C-alpha cells in the first residue's frame, strides 16, 4: 500500500493516494498490528495514523505537496517504529 501511495503521488492520482492511506490506516487498527501495548508503541501508532490523515487530507483537497509531506512523515514513522520493535527483540 505504501508503494501504491508513492505511485499515486508521482502520477498525481489522488484517488490512489487516498485509498492507499485508508488501507494502511485500516491495517494499523487490526489486532495483529498491536504487538505491544506500551504507551510508547501506542503513541507511535497514533503518530503513524496522524501522518496518514495528513496524506488523505492532502489527497482529498488535491494538495499534492501536503499529501507528499504526509507521506514523508509516514515513512519516518515507519522507520522509527521498526527500529523500536527491533530493539525489543
Q: pLDDT (tens digit, 9 = 90+) per residue, 8-55?
A: 999 999 999 999 999 999 999 998 888 888 999 999 999 999 999 999
Q: How many CA atoms lie within 13 A of 64 on its CB side?
A: 10
4 vs 37: which has the higher pLDDT:
4
pLDDT confidence of residue 64: 96
Confidence of residue 69 (pLDDT cuts 50, 70, 90): very high
Q: Alpha-carbon distance 68 to 76, whole Å? A: 12
Amino acid at each position: 500500500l505504501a508503494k501504491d501511495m508513492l505511485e499515486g503521488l508521482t502520477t498525481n492520482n489522488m484517488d490512489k493516494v487516498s485509498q492507499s492511506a485508508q488501507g494502511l490506516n485500516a491495517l494499523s487498527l487490526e489486532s495483529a498490528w498491536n504487538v505491544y501495548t506500551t504507551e510508547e508503541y501506542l503513541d507511535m501508532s497514533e503518530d503513524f495514523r496522524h501522518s496518514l490523515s495528513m496524506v488523505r487530507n492532502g489527497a482529498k483537497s488535491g494538495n499534492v505537496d501536503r499529501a507528499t509531506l504526509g507521506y514523508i512523515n509516514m515513512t519516518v514513522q515507519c522507520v522509527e517504529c521498526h527500529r523500536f520493535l527491533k530493539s525489543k527483540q
